[in-house]
A = this chain, B = another copy of it.
Amino acid sequence: MFFTLAGIVERLGGELVGEGGIIVQQVAALENAQADTITFLANERYLSKLKSTKAGAVIVGEDLRSALDVPHIVAANPYSYFAKVSALLNSEPDTVPGVHPSAVIDSIARIGDGVQIGPCVVIEAGAVIASNVRIGAGCFIGAGSTIAENSRLYANVTIYKGCTVGARAIIHSGAVIGADGFGIAMDEGRWLKIPQIGGVKIGDDVEIGANTTIDRGAIEDTIIEEGVKLDNQIQIAHNVRIGAHTAIAACAGIAGSSRVGRYCRIGGASGIAGHLSIADQVEISAHTLVTKSITEPGTYTGAYPFEVNRDWRRNAASLRNLGELNERVRVLEKALELRKKGK
């Protein structure tokens, strides 16, 4: 696949500065770009690297319009423009419709047009696979679950019964959607299981990373709204609701019944305790545990600052006496205050 710069601008907009006939075949990183590639510069910090790039063309923002000799495309948002160029140059091969003979599809499942189903896939009764969906090898789709059109499940995804996945979803390998939420009640020294009778509802344009788990609801559904992007190894507990267009980095965990707003950014390995409500446009830093609801947009952090181990030992030991230290300072303040007054 290749395009001229003029051809790219024709399709995607932006303003071309320099020779429009230059051909690019692939996107590249600034440092290792070849003459037939196009790269981008989202950040002035890397301007020095740009001097030595061998890229055939660069995507830049308005501010760098005249800073470059190399042919460039000026775009309002260079990074998203780059995403579009990369999608153009790396278009997925067309789906080859068909069902592999080793797939086991219940006779009362409904399979749409143009669907591609790989080897060893299992689809249970009442499931609905809409048109142009691709289901990789070894996936399991439980009874009555629905996958809307143009979605893609990579190999070895598991979807329990009674879940719905929206259109254009991408679900990576090892993801498990709809396992039982962790509902147990202590009864005379033994845990009783609370049946998890809700499902999971996933909106359109959601991406779900490898080995991420989204549990079904205890009574009502767990809900992932449209446009949510989940990285790998995320745990979404029962009855959570994730607002539209929120992005969550790897290894984060959201405990039961919490609601996360729209356009939030949740950092890696962070956690949100159960039954909380997080406003829209909240950013949670990596490794932060949120233990109270958040009502205002903003960035919230709670990671322990790392140090050389011997410094950490000293400071962490003092941390164990911090309440007391606080008290000692109060005593000192009082002592000085008294003396002042006594003067």
Contacts and interface: CB of A to CB of B under 8 A. Distances in A.
A235 B23 CA distance: 37
A233 B213 contact: yes
A220 to B, nearest CB: 6
A309 B304 contact: no
A120 B100 contact: no
Given A122-B137, A250-B235, A27 B90 contact: no
Nearest to A217: B29
Nearest to A101: B104
Instruction: Quickly give the copy total for this chain.
Output: 3
Contacts of A172: 176, 179-180
Interface residues of A, number: 120
A156 B192 CA distance: 25
Given A176-B174, A321-B326, A197 B90 contact: yes
A174 B158 contact: yes
Interface in A272-314: 273, 284-291, 298-309, 311-314
B332 A185 contact: no
Contacts of A313: 301
A112 interface: no
Contact of A317 (B83, B87, B284, B323): B323
A37 to B, nearest CB: 9
Interface string A125-158: 0000000000011101010000000000011101
A306 B232 CA distance: 24
A84 interface: yes
B122 A197 contact: no
Contacts of A332: 329, 332-333, 336
Interface string A232-256: 1101010000000101011101010
A173 interface: yes
Contacts of A22: none
Given A318-B323, A318-B325, A323-B317, A231 B182 contact: yes
Interface in A150-184: 154-156, 158, 160, 170, 172-174, 176, 179-180, 182-184
18 contacts: A28-B219, A29-B219, A29-B220, A83-B184, A86-B195, A118-B122, A142-B155, A160-B173, A174-B213, A182-B209, A213-B232, A250-B255, A253-B269, A291-B305, A302-B307, A311-B323, A315-B320, A322-B322
